[in-house]
Amino acid sequence: MTSRNSLAVTRYTAFDVHGRGGNPAGVVLDASGASEQEMQAVAAEVGYSETAFLVAGGDPADRRFTVRYFSPLAEVAFCGHATIAAAVAVADQAGTGRLVFDTPAGEVTVETRPADGRVLASLTSVPPKVTAVAGADLAEALVALRWRPEDLDPELPPRVANAGNDHLVLAAATRERLAVLDYDMDALGALMARCGWTTVHLVWRESGDVFHARDPFPPGGVYEDPATGAAAAAFGAYLRDLGLVAAPARVTIHQGADMGRPGRLLVDIPADTAAGITVSGTAAVI
């Protein structure tokens, strides 16, 4: 499909479950010559939380692309679900294999391969980092979310995790707390803009390797993101940094069910603390 701005947009849903649910993303496989303003206009027209814009490198055999990501409101340094969608879109046109995406957050490698009759894409993030969150910022976030301190799981302490951009990680003590999302979008958005957080990654631990997540995304003009690969990568780093998994490990994140868009993200966490986190999923054409 071509937008009014003459850039051909393909629509995929990433991290879907058997072709259903997942997180919609726009993909422009050839954004050569497009200006920042044109890309922003296309992303706003598409209306998804992110649209990925690809420009192929000089040698097609390198399978290397410069990639930029735009939400309806602004450019984002890195987006996991749009990366998965873009990688599957490339595989659909040119076959599976290794891709290299040069993003504003750094170099991201993506492996695509056949799996059960579909294409499975696995991105490996830039080297992640995990930092403390200021007490005043945490308190303000809880007020905006309409959460109480006792709603938090004391075994999964709040942190800011980054695997391409910053995410505030907050763990709910119960599934019931996670299921109710009723926050002040203006207040949380203002705090996130001040702190530079891309999403707030709300999680609940079902077991040692299974988690459920929700991601408010006010900076993108989106109340909630259905499946968030960048936050999943950051969360993998969080689990490793806090010793909450025995790396190497794989965890599964279920996201989007509370929105009626179930998604599944597979997160592989290497033992090397300097290594990026790998997030895998499928994507289906919408």
For 191, the enclosing helix (H) or strand (E) is: helix 185-195
**Full 3-state SS string of 115-181:** ECCEEEEEEECCCCEEECCCHHHHHHHHHHHCCCHHHECCCCCCEEEECCCEEEEEEECCHHHHHCC
β partners of residue 98: 111
- The DSSP symbol for 37 reads H
- The DSSP symbol for 5 reads T
How far is residue 36 CA from its own chain's centroid? 21
The Cα 36–Cα 115 span in angstroms is 36
Specify the pairing of strand 210-217 against strand 249-255. parallel
Burial profile 206-215: b = 16 or more Cβ within 10 angstroms, e = fewer: eeeeebbbbb
Give the residue among 127, 117, 69 at the shortest CA–CA distance from 278: 127
Is residue 206 among the annotated active site residues? no
The burial of 32, by beta-carbon neighbours within 10 Å (0-12 exposed, 13-18 middle, 19 or more buried), is given as exposed
The Cα 149–Cα 284 span in angstroms is 39
Question: Which among 36, 38, 45, 50 is annotated as catalytic?
Answer: 50
CA torsion sign, 34 to 35 to 40 to 45?
negative
Active site residues: 50
